[in-house]
Amino acid sequence: MEVNQVEFEEAIRDFVLGKGRGSPNPTHCEILMKYHSTINTLIMEAFIQKIEKISIMPYGYSIIKVENPVYIGPYNICINMETEEHKMLVYFDRN
C-alpha cells in the first residue's frame, strides 16, 4: 500500500491529534502502522519481543503503548499481525 501525503496527514489528524470521533478509521490505522515512525517502532519492538497484544493510544501530543492491556475502550480498532512464528493483536484505542 502506497500512501500520499494528504492521506498520511489525515490519518495523523484523525488518530494522533485526536480530531476523529468514534472508532478509529482502519485505513488510517494501517497507514500509521506503516508510515508513522513512532507508531511503527512501538509496534515492531513489541512484535520482536513476542508480546501477545498491545494498545496504541494518543496522549496529548505523545503516543503511548500498553503491553497486554487489561482494558480496551469502546472506541478502538483491532488489527492482527501474524507471521509463522508469532501473532499479535494491535489495538488503536482513542480512550
Structural domain harbouring 89: 5-93
| Number of domains the chain contains | 1
Distances, alpha carbon 56 to alpha carbons 12, 33, 48, 76, 85, in Å: 13, 10, 16, 10, 22
35 φ/ψ angles, rounded to the nearest 5 degrees: -115, -15
Which pTM was predicted? Answer: 0.91
Q: Rounded distance, CA 4 to CA 24, Å?
A: 19
Q: Say what the pLDDT of residue 1 is.
A: 54
Q: Say what the pLDDT of residue 76 is.
A: 95
Residue type, 7: E
The neighbouring-strand residues paired with 65 are 56
Grid cell of 6 as nine digits = 494528504
- Look at residue 60 and tell me whether its pLDDT is greater than 60: yes
